[in-house]
């Protein structure tokens, strides 16, 4: 099954969840695939196809119970639990992410922070103390970490990624502008803010004012 | 032409550019589509298809001149120039992005910063002084801004986006966890770090260790 699930389906599931949770805050009730599709800027057929990959939800003609579907999508995305996260790289971006409430709210808890800068090691960040990346393996194992956020320079990213994988981590959120090579069964999500700006630059340079973006 | 260019093609062009620039730093010379594909983790056919959308590059059997192709891809992406950027939202993420060298290095220059927090308005950030979002329209026009980076709370994002568009901006890099609705001819790139973590959570929850991710 999971082999058939595309990045774009996962992206839409995250979006559906946001829409459903907003509906929950407004009282819940039921929602049709048509209304969910409209809010997600897609088609009802796409909504039904995405959800059908994970079982059958809702009743034909009756739509979906908002609260039930939200819970089911949280389960599908693995968000009905907390994740223990390590932040590697205590620079500006790292400290901004450490304070980023949306991570914690979604169940991603930064339980340890590491850096190789002696002036940062030992700093107290809220509940946690910045650890030395020289001790990365022990620190990650002791903290029982499952996900690592890398906010290290591009030149250090591959080596850090290998150390993180060596410590048993299978999920990496990579902010370094570097293409990480990891073994099968280790998952990397890249946040490349420069590439996003480059896509904007392409749009502003090449798109005619009325042209949408093809998303093959 | 531009209608046929997909997000994934643009993403790969950014990646090719990084690879080509790394090759340039190592002396340049020529590169085959096979080698470029290997470095970009794709196929030679894909490389040729992506580039063919923008003209004919390289000589059959001789490959590409690294420096020439890098310059041509920069032109395609609209990166052979500088872009004047406004940062709206002077919080932690905003200040981290303001200091983010990779933006400037790629030609994205943050020439003005705005916030609605009276305690931040008037602060000097390097060369720029934090302006009041109440003056957004005038500030963006005076600064001749073309791209806006939004690091505002989700609840404020849509209204700010509309003001930014009203000031003539056609490119928005959006860090707010909100789906912005903008007119045709205005381009939005979202950086949703929580969604990236949710995709990791899905992978760690659903993928068998050996399964790759389908990218339809």
pLDDT, one tens digit per residue, over A16-53 is 999 999 999 999 899 999 999 999 989 999 999 999 99
Does residue A208 carry a pLDDT above 80? no
The pLDDT value given to residue B138: 98
Cβ atoms of B2 and A207 closer than 8 Å? yes
CA distance A134 to chain B (A): 25
Instruction: Check if A82 contacts B (Cβ < 8 Å).
Output: no
In a 3-state reduction of DSSP, which class is residue A171? strand
- The residues that bridge with A160 in the sheet, in sequence order, are none
Angle at which helices B7-25 and B33-40 cross, to 10°: 110
Side by side, which strands form the sheet with A124-125? Answer: A124-125, A128-132, A108-115, A83-88, A147-150, A171-174, A187-190
Nearest-by-CA chain A residue for B189: A196
CATH domain B83-194 topology: Rossmann fold (3.40.50)
Interstrand relation of B187-190 and B171-174 (parallel, antiparallel or unpaired): parallel
Radius of gyration of chain B (CA): 20
Residue with tokens 């009730």: A29
Beta carbons of B5 and A214 less than 8 Å apart: yes
Cβ-based contacts of A196 with chain B (< 8 Å): 173, 189-191
CA distance A92 to chain B (A): 5
Beta carbons of B97 and A193 less than 8 Å apart: yes
The pLDDT value given to residue A79: 97
CA distance B25 to chain A (A): 14
- Torsion from C-alpha of B170, B174, B176, B182, nearest 10 degrees: 30
Domain with CATH 3.40.50.720 in chain B: 83-194
Cβ atoms of A115 and A90 closer than 8 Å? yes
pLDDT beneath 50: ranges in chain B: 1-2, 209-212, 214-216
Cβ-based contacts of A3 with chain B (< 8 Å): 211-212, 214
* Closest CA relative to residue B86, chosen from A175, A118, A197, A184: A197
What the block records as the tokens of B173 is 């890099």
The CB-based long-range contact list for A180-188 (8 Å cut-off, 24+ gap) reads: A184/B209, A184/B210, A184/B212, A185/B207, A185/B208, A185/B209, A185/B210, A187/B200, A187/B203, A187/B204, A187/B207, A187/B213, A188/A161
A3 closest CB neighbour out of B99, B198, B214: B214
The pLDDT value given to residue B208: 58
For residues A178 and B23, which has the higher predicted lDDT (pLDDT)? B23
Domain with CATH 1.10.10.10 in chain A: 7-76
The pLDDT value given to residue A5: 87
* pTM for the predicted model, two decimal places: 0.86
Cβ-based contacts of B151 with chain A (< 8 Å): none
Beta carbons of B198 and A10 less than 8 Å apart: yes
Instruction: Check if A55 contacts B (Cβ < 8 Å).
Output: no
Nearest-by-CA chain A residue for B91: A96
Average pLDDT, chain A: 91
Beta carbons of B103 and A197 less than 8 Å apart: yes
The pLDDT value given to residue A1: 46
Radius of gyration of chain A (CA): 20
What the block records as the tokens of A57 is 């939800």
Interface test with A, best of B195, B209, B215 (most A CBs within 10 A): B195
A38-47, A80-89, A157-166, B127-136: the lowest-pLDDT one: A38-47
A178 Cβ neighbours under 8 A, 6+ residues apart:
A154, A155, A157, A158
Beta carbons of B3 and A212 less than 8 Å apart: yes
Nearest-by-CA chain B residue for A3: B214
CATH node for A7-76: 1.10.10.10
The pLDDT value given to residue B107: 96
CA distance B37 to chain A (A): 13
Does residue A210 carry a pLDDT above 70? no
Beta carbons of B6 and A216 less than 8 Å apart: yes
């Amino acid at each position: 099954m999971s082999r058939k699930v595309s990045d774009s389906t996962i992206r839409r599931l995250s979006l559906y969840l946001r829409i459903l949770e907003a509906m929950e805050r407004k009282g819940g009730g039921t929602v049709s695939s048509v209304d969910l599709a409209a809010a997600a800027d897609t088609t009802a057929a796409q909504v039904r196809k995405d959800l059908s990959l994970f079982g059958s939800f809702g009743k034909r003609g009756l739509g979906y119970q908002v609260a039930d579907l939200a819970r089911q999508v949280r389960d599908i995305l693995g968000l009905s639990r907390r994740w223990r996260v390590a932040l590697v790289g205590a620079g500006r971006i790292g400290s901004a992410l450490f304070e980023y409430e949306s991570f914690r709210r979604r169940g991603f808890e930064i339980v340890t922070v590491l850096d190789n800068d002696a002036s940062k090691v030992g700093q107290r960040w809220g509940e946690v103390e910045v650890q030395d990346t020289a001790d990365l393996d022990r620190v990650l194992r002791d903290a029982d970490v499952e996900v690592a956020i890398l906010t290290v320079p591009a030149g250090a990213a591959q080596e850090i990624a290998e150390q993180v994988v060596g410590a048993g981590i299978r999920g990496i959120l990579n902010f370094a502008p570097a293409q990480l090579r990891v073994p099968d069964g280790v998952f990397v999500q890249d946040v490349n803010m420069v590439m996003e700006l480059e896509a904007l630059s392409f749009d502003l340079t090449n798109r005619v004012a009325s042209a949408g973006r093809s998303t093959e």
